[in-house]
Chains A and B, each alone.
Chain A
Amino acid sequence: MKKEKTEELFVKWIDGLLTPEEEAQLAAAMESDPGMKAELQELKKISESVVSEVPASVEPPYGDFFNSKLMRKIDLQIQSQRPAKKAERWWQSMRWAWAPVSALALVLSFFAGHRISRPADPLAQKKTFVEFTAELPTVYFTGEALDAEVIADFEGDVSAIVVNGLSAIRDDIDFVTVNTSASLPESYESSEARRFH
């Protein structure tokens, strides 16, 4: 029997996909090679171990912002494909530090030509402004609807996040004496234990 044929029979036997003719062929081959069956059984065992030990699905860490980051990139992609008029409205929805439109154009052209890359990243590529804004952080809120603004600096790093609408801290709270220990997450206690015990 050709080598390729034997290999194919082996593979199919392990996967339980032999036709009756192929089973007969393999049985004949086994008769002339007593060790073959043991070898096949071992290969099958390993195949079964791979199936049971290697997960087919692993959720990426922070699945919610995996999605939000991706959807943000898609949003930008859609925006960048829109006709110029609509794109201009999109720029206008951002509140710029510099009011004059000419200054805005200057800034846009600056970023378009400016290499914004991570010096240590070997795969760093020239990034356009549109790509850059895809990397800004997202802010998630638990309670009532709030809003946040992300402010980036000259080098494109996030320098501040302004969250508006948070409940004020009571004026009469004296942080020295307040000591709330109940109802904090277990990870807080673990974190403190790691540091101080």
Chain B
Amino acid sequence: MNFFRWVTSKQLMAPVGASPDAGAGDQEVPDRQLIKACQSGDVRAFETLVTRHRGKVYAMVQNMIKNEADAWDLSQDIFLKVWKALPKFEARAKFSTWLYRITHNVVYDWLRKRKIDSVGELDDGILNQSDIAAGSRTSPSVTARPDQALVNSELGERINAALATLNAEHRETILLREVQGFDYKEIAKVMDCSLGTVMSRLYYARKKLQALLSDEKGKD
């Protein structure tokens, strides 16, 4: 027995991966302006913001949790939270720092639920090998993309494997600094910790990576 029907709206197909709002024109409108429009209820402006930032959010989440299916869902959750919280966003704050703060909270909630790592402890946790899905170090699609070529390298694989052995705080600190290019203050804001803690985590995370990667070299 059928209970209900949903009439979907007519849509013209866009090429996979493309969005009508992506492209050079999109870059002309700064985040600040888009956010202002969003705060007035402009959902199209929000979609432009999503298209602009979804790659970075997805990469960060995937690098943190090493699970492509959940990374997709968590990225959705993050942007939904962004939408809900936008009315409270202050124009003088930096959007990317705020966005990553939300990303941090969502990821850590997920990690807590999965009990992979104890938040706040420094002992290194290891993601279960089963959690590191076969395709998680690359994009799930077989069709190669330019960014995928980098990750597919042998060194890339070793680095990703080494990153996966760090605890969540160390891994996140490294990703925010090395990959996303955040400065120490921004990292402290995202992770809600002191500057000193950021420096300490960076130091130990880099030392740990050095030990792991040197170990691997020795085995070759």
Contacts and interface: CB of A to CB of B under 8 A. Distances in A.
Interface in B119-142: 139-141
Interface stretch (A18-26, A29-37, A57-65, A168-176): A57-65
B85 to A, nearest CB: 12
Given A46-B209, A58-B55, A94 B6 contact: yes
A11 B202 contact: yes
A100 interface: no
A109 interface: no
B113 to A, nearest CB: 7
A53 B58 CA distance: 16
Contacts of A151: 2, 4-5
Contact of A141 (B10, B54, B72, B76): B10
Given A53-B150, A58-B55, A66-B54, A107 B4 contact: yes
B10 A147 contact: yes
A140 B18 contact: no
A65 to B, nearest CB: 9
A181 B15 CA distance: 23
A51 B178 contact: yes
Contact of A139 (B5, B8, B55, B62): B8
Contacts of B94: none
**Taking each of A74, A96, A151, which has the highest tally of chain B beta carbons within 10 Å of its own beta carbon?**
A74
Interface string A54-87: 1111111111101111110111011000000000
A7 B18 contact: no
**Taking each of B11, B79, B200, which has the highest tally of chain A beta carbons within 10 Å of its own beta carbon?**
B11
Contact of A59 (B113, B139, B181): B139
A95 B202 CA distance: 57
Given A66-B54, A70-B50, A50 B209 contact: yes
Contacts of B213: 46, 49
A142 interface: yes
A8 B175 CA distance: 18
A159 interface: yes
Nearest to B113: A123
B156 A53 contact: yes
Interface residues on A, range: 35 or more
A70 B76 contact: yes
B1 interface: yes
Nearest to B71: A60
A58 B6 contact: no
Given A73-B76, A145-B10, A55 B151 contact: yes
B5 A59 contact: no
B210 interface: yes
A64 B6 contact: no
Interface string B1-26: 11111111111111111110000000
B18 A64 contact: yes
B196 A4 contact: yes
Contacts of B59: 55-58
B43 A142 contact: no
A148 interface: yes
**Taking each of B6, B10, B43, B145, which has the highest tally of chain A beta carbons within 10 Å of its own beta carbon?**
B6
Given A63-B18, A70-B76, A73-B80, A147 B200 contact: no
Given A11-B199, A54-B63, A141 B11 contact: yes
12 contacts: A4-B196, A54-B156, A54-B178, A58-B139, A60-B55, A64-B18, A70-B50, A70-B80, A74-B46, A93-B7, A136-B8, A142-B13
